Amino acid sequence: MNTLTIRTSITAACALALFSSCEKYLERPPIGQINEEMVTGEPTVATVSAMTDATYLPLSSTLNILGNWDWDNGLVVRNDFVIEDIAAGDMLKKWAPDGDQAWMDQVASFNFTALNPAFNGVWAYAYEGIARANRAIDQLENQALMEQIGMEATLRNRQLGEMYFLRAFNYFSLVTNYGDVPLLTKSFKNFNEIYEAARRNPQADVWQQISADLAQAETLLPTGKHSDANAPWRVSHGAVLALQAKVALYNQQWQQVVDRVDDLQQAGYYQLNAHYFDAFDTGKEFQENEVVFAYDHRSGQVPRRGNGLTALMGWGFIAPSADFLAAFEPDDPRLAYTVDTEGRNVYKLFGATNEANKGNEDAPNNRIYIRWADVLLWKAEALNELGRPAEAIAILNDIRQRARNTPLLGGGNTPEGTLPPRDAAVTDKADVQQWIAHERRVELGFESHRFSDLRRWGTAKDVLTAMGKNFQDFHYLYPIPQSEIDKSAGTITPNPGY
């Protein structure tokens, strides 16, 4: 494949010189299906569609899509598991402690600086996705171009809705992790525009843009569980409603959370699977009823599209902490489906209850971002905040019942009395919230939600200090990568404390 020229790098992928130097970017071959012909040649329906498809790629756990074993910049694989599960104390870097990739241990202990690769990686993946979305939106909103290439309105609208969602999704990651961030809603055509954009926008403006993008996506995407029956991995109407609910949750707009989840329940797109592991089982992908949004990993594709996180697990990465293991109630079958401590396996992240994908850098198991149990727990939390604890407890008990009815991994049913229902008569808000927090931890363990939960609840300092971590108040936001501050000549400012 040809390398990108300066013209194509700025307009197609280097939407901001913030996340990697343009010189370095120009040395890289095109990523995924974006290539020079696609960007500089005559656009067609196929090239525009390929560009929208390529916007999904930064959400993958595929190895080396932004670099070549670039551990120093956090670009080997997505760092969600580092900044969420390891930071929260649920996950250890490895089963056997060692000095490999010590920056992960620094995140775990909260002894890190703005130079830590984890934060550069999160920033880079998000802005790569935003750059791609902006480029695709520019083309899809060009009515003259759409008429020129003959793209049907239904296809154009669906793809545009997908792009608005993906841009919002990436900004959600940025604003929750860093606070104020540069807000980019167009492609850039010269370096002056890039440098002018190298400013941090207030969080309120970023949240407003996220909401606006999701409102656009909602009007553009077709209703139904899948926006495209032949490609069920695409952003759907249900995914938009779910992300709207999550945005409301993080902004403590409790009634909006309930309303959006109610809309989803009335639509009937999703329900809890009868078996807890079905959502993660590679053999049941897009056939079960619980996954709302996931990246579709596949083996044997060119360019590669497999799940590379499983390769790291073959090298001993990703193990449960003792604190995480102790959080599960006796005989809770979810523990065994998540991790096998004796065999040192993480089944939930393998997509199978065997070692078939362990060490496989091209594994087919999907990266799940939103599933129905998570959404229901948002609603339970909002109901509790609204003074409706009985309804919140009912949701908790539905999720506990599904877990209780899931067969044990070794065979047979859970013993009598396993995961008893929570008392529906309890009205104390703090008690119900404690139950919700517990259920989220064990139900969603190793799915990269835990640290964000602790932050938005305001309990991170208490919980992590009790675990012996060096958590300080300024850690509620992660540091802006030092490289971005340096490259902007200081127009991008650091977060307090770093």
pLDDT in tens, 201-257: 999 999 999 999 999 999 999 999 999 999 999 999 999 999 999 999 999 999 999
CA 166 – CA 114 distance, rounded (Å): 26
Q: Is 167 helix (H, G, I), strand (E, B) or coil?
A: helix
Residue 371 pLDDT more than 60?
Answer: yes
Measured in whole angstroms, how far is the alpha carbon of residue 278 from the centre of its chain? Answer: 20
Q: How far is CA 365 from CA 52, 225, 298, 453, in A?
A: 22, 21, 7, 25
Residue 484 has pLDDT above 70, yes or no: yes
Burial class (CB within 10 angstroms; exposed 0-12, middle 13-18, buried 19+) of 398 = middle
| CA atoms 481, 483, 484, 489: torsion sign | positive
pTM above 0.75, yes or no: yes
DSSP 8-class letter at 82: I
Q: Tell me the β-bridge partners of 494.
A: none
pLDDT band at 30 (very low <50, low <70, confident <90, very high): very low
Domains of the chain: 1-202+459-491 (1.25.40.390), 222-457 (1.25.40.390)
Q: pLDDT digits over 299-349, tens only?
A: 999 999 999 999 999 999 999 999 999 999 999 999 999 999 999 999 999
Is the pLDDT confidence value at 13 over 80?
no
* Best mean pLDDT range from 13-22, 29-38, 353-362: 353-362
The H or E element containing residue 317 is: strand 317-320
In order, the DSSP letters of 88-105 are TTSEEEESS--STTHHHH
Determine the Cα–Cα distance for residues 4 and 26; give it in Å rounded to an integer.
6
- pLDDT top residue among 37 and 306: 306
Tens of pLDDT along 266-303?
999 999 999 999 999 999 999 999 999 999 999 999 99
Confidence of residue 436 (pLDDT cuts 50, 70, 90): very high
Q: Determine the residue type at 449.
A: H
Q: Residue 469 pLDDT > 60, yes or no? A: yes
